[in-house]
Structure 1
Amino acid sequence: MRELNELRRGRGLDAADLHQRIGPCLRAACEIADDDPPAAARHKVVLRLTELCGRLPADLRLAALAALGLHEEAAGEFLDRRISWLASVLDRDPRTARRRIDLAFRRLDELLGAPARERDLHPLAGWYVESMKAVLRLDRDAPDVQEERRIVAEVDELDELVLSFSVPAVPGLDPVPAIAADVLFGGEIVEARQVSASHAQFVMRLPSPLRLGQRHEYGIRFAPQRSSLRPYYVMTPLRRCEKFSVRVRFDRDAPPSRVWRLNGVPGRVIDDGTDSGDALTVNSLGEVGLEFHDLHQGLSYGLQWSSDPGGD
């Protein structure tokens, strides 16, 4: 707690002498080596504390981010001004805002005792997904997927994201159509790449560059140009993803006979269409929803279905 309180003085994690104010407990919790240069020490402590703030309830997360100078609307200000900003956002007096910060720091102190998560080693690293929500509409003539994501920058001056989307083709039936994408908010697509018959990449420019540890939210709609879709929807993260929720809306007049959860399975399991045994129920509106946490890179999460009552 003493070391956390030391960090919030002055400009918080934006302080020029930050590396000199990181105490031994924080150095150990953030895996900062004795020979790490100041920039590396700052990088590690910002990412670790940003990750832990993301686990706090909304009001405590806001308090911690403001106190540490990590919130984009309070960054760079001195502590008293950041507290005043927090008080105005919470519609409370500064004393209450300070108590909220103290409570948030006590929670951070508890979380810092847990081991740090493994870093994302994917070559496109530079940001990770804190949360993703997806809605797949299959009750329309032209199915579409809408995704909303909250990401966290792992580098300074992050101004573009490379987004991937796959729609497996049916061999011998599907041509190689373009997979359309439309940004709903939070950016603009500046380049589209049809990598293969099933896979596309999109380069999305952000409204302004993100600094290390800064969060950003965006929404995007994908329109698969297929004669038919394979009977599943999954996310297979190539980078770190902490939370993923999905809702599928089937045609309520012709729902699938069986739907099952895919909770971290290899791709071949999906291709085989094997029922996992973790059955899901389609509600009266034709909808199924589910949620996953702390996804493993390279494994698939989502759901699969079959309209054949007797087999896969």
Structure 2
Amino acid sequence: MAKTLEQTPILAGVVGHPVSHSLSPIIHTIWAQRAGIDGYYIPIAVPPDYDDFARVMESLRNVGFAGVNVTIPHKEHALRYADIVSDAARQPGAANMLTFSEDGCLAENSDITGFAEAVREKNSAPGTSALVLGAGGAARGVVLALKSLGLTDIRIANRTMERAKDLAGAFDLAVMDWKKKSEAIDNIDLLVNTTSLGMSGQPPLEIDISGLNPAAIVADIVYTPLKTALLEDAESKGHPIVDGLAMLMHQAVPGFQKWFGGHAQVDEALRAALVSELERRAKI
């Protein structure tokens, strides 16, 4: 017997260019299986220009997708395309979630809550001061997450001073000289790398963290490699660390709950599955 409309599988996905590297389909598939939900989360490669992005979004809405996560280079496109924009997406100027409904397309940003929750796992009261390395879109989300955690003394260091000043001006932050970043870590409670430095295939991040407060949290938003040289150094010195996988898992929660309607648990079993996949890919 054919399925009724109410019985059709729930459809969601992730769009980007490229998108084959995304771990999000694994996360959502595991949660759907745990909850016994008939649903599919599909990676969708979309060319980088806005017209292609808008055309694909219209197609997904027409075939009944509940929503999509959005990754590079489409986060600003998602904001432009949406009919309704949440404050969490408007403030950083980027969206990583689009939800489709009869009321229109809603743009949101769960990267902010994702990073905040990853930090809370290590310390629910992480302090008041932070140094953020980088001044791109990811840094904007991290700054907003830090503010939501109650940090009031946030400093920015970026290889291009002009971009650092732009971000600092937008969020009332202090600007530090990139060349003096190792000296700028005194008395901070949280160090966050939002740059690509230290990522597989990229130059290393050169920073001396020996002067860092022993209780300070050190975070890196990349997950290839899962443990960057910065995180390895921090861990060897006894610092609590937050890797990019923690942020990825937590930022996936709002989308799954909104589109699939099930419980989304971030736990060691989920992490183990993702680590196993990363190890498998590293061997290819």
Q: Fold match, TM over 0.5?
A: no
Flag the structure with higher helix content: 2
Flag the structure with higher strand content: 1
Q: TM-score, normalised by structure 1?
A: 0.24
Quick check: which has more Rg, 1 or 2? 1
